[in-house]
């Protein structure tokens, strides 16, 4: 019987301190920042901006703190690394963070991988990742905007199935459930759901079984052009999934302001 992989979104809860098991890095891409970005940034072990994601941190993070001085916020929320092909970051933003000591890695010579790819590889190879036994990676700004960008970001999940990567927007999260494991997903009902989905993007699934959903699957076949489990709903605080195919799991994130630090 395959090993069980546990999934939790406790990073959305400010009352739960990060431990070694839940340590994560954050990657900020060039789309609108989710409202919970300050919380994720505060508790991340490593903070990486993918090219134009640095513009978002510079421009949008001060808007979360309208009563505080924008310069103080920009100094407080400084990325550790900016990496990418450097075709989107503004020069004023680049020079500002360089002056604060942010490491800048220009990979404009590599046009075969996305900026998210480049950042994932940096985090996977980092000394911090080895020391803390595999950082989980949270990517904001990976959803929304151009669909080809979204598709490229989803493809990154399949390129690195042994790395826990979660794509985040204001509305939902998406992550890969590799077929090599059975999966137990722990729901934070105050912050997540009820809407969810299981989607066989990489390949059809001949058999998928779940528990804890409004419409559970029981050795159910899923494929594009046939049945896929969208607009499903969670019933409790634990979902289990077992499949013969890699699946994308997505769940809605509730609109509230409890995710600020």
Q: Is 203 exposed, middle or buried (0-12, 13-18, 19+ CB in 10 A)?
A: middle
User: Terminus-to-terminus CA distance in the chain, angstroms?
Assistant: 41
Whole-number pLDDT of residue 257: 54
pLDDT at 129: 63
Rounded CA-CA distance 235/250 in Å is 15
> Could you state, in order of their start, the residue ranges of all structural domains in the chain?
20-170, 171-261
User: Is residue 22 within 8 Å of residue 10, measured between CB atoms?
Assistant: yes
* CATH numeric code, 171-261: 2.60.120.320
What is the Cα–Cα distance from 19 to 10, expressed in whole angstroms? 11
- pTM, 2 dp: 0.91
CA distances from 230 to 6, 120, 125, 135 (A): 22, 28, 35, 29
Stretch (H or E) spanning 57: helix 53-60
> Is-contact 89 52, C-beta < 8 A?
yes
CATH 3.40.50.10240 fits 20-170, yes or no: yes
Kindly give the confidence (pLDDT) of every residue in the chain, 261 residues in length, as a single tens digit, with 9 standing for 90 and above. 579 989 988 888 776 554 545 789 999 999 999 999 999 999 899 999 999 999 999 999 999 999 999 999 999 999 999 998 888 999 999 999 999 999 999 887 877 788 899 999 999 888 776 654 578 999 999 898 889 989 999 999 999 998 999 999 999 999 999 999 999 999 988 899 899 999 999 899 999 999 999 999 999 999 999 999 999 999 989 999 999 999 999 999 998 654 444
Q: Which tokens sit at 166?
A: 């979660």
What's residue 258's pLDDT? 43
d(CA 243, CA 180): 9
Are the C-beta atoms of residues 92 and 15 closer than 8 Å to each other?
no
Q: DSSP string covering 214-255, please? A: TT--SSEEE-TTS--EEEEEB-SSEEEEEESS-EEEEEEE--
How many Å apart are CA 196 and CA 157, to the nearest integer? 18
């Amino acid at each position: 019987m395959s090993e069980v992989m546990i999934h939790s979104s406790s990073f959305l809860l400010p009352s739960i301190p990060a431990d070694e098991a839940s340590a994560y890095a954050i990657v900020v891409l060039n789309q609108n920042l989710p409202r919970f970005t300050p919380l994720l940034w505060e508790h991340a072990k490593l903070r990486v901006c993918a090219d134009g994601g640095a513009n978002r941190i510079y421009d949008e993070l001060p808007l979360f703190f309208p009563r505080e001085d924008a310069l103080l916020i920009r100094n407080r929320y400084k990325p550790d690394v900016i990496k990418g092909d450097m075709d989107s970051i503004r020069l004023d933003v680049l020079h500002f963070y360089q002056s604060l000591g942010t490491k800048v890695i220009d990979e404009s010579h590599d046009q075969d991988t996305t900026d998210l790819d480049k950042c994932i590889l940096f985090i996977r190879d980092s000394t911090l990742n080895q020391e803390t036994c595999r950082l989980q990676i949270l990517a904001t700004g990976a959803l929304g905007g151009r669909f080809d960008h979204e598709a490229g970001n989803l493809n990154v999940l399949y390129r690195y199935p042994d790395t826990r990567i979660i794509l985040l927007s204001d509305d939902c999260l998406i992550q890969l459930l590799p077929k090599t494991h059975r999966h137990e997903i722990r729901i934070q009902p105050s912050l997540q759901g009820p809407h969810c989905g299981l989607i066989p993007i990489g390949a059809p699934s001949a058999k998928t079984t779940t528990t804890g959903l409004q419409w559970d699957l029981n050795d159910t076949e899923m494929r594009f052009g046939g049945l896929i489990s969208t607009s499903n709903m969670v019933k409790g605080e634990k979902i289990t999934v077992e499949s013969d195919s890699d699946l994308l799991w997505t769940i809605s994130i509730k609109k509230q302001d409890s995710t600020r630090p």
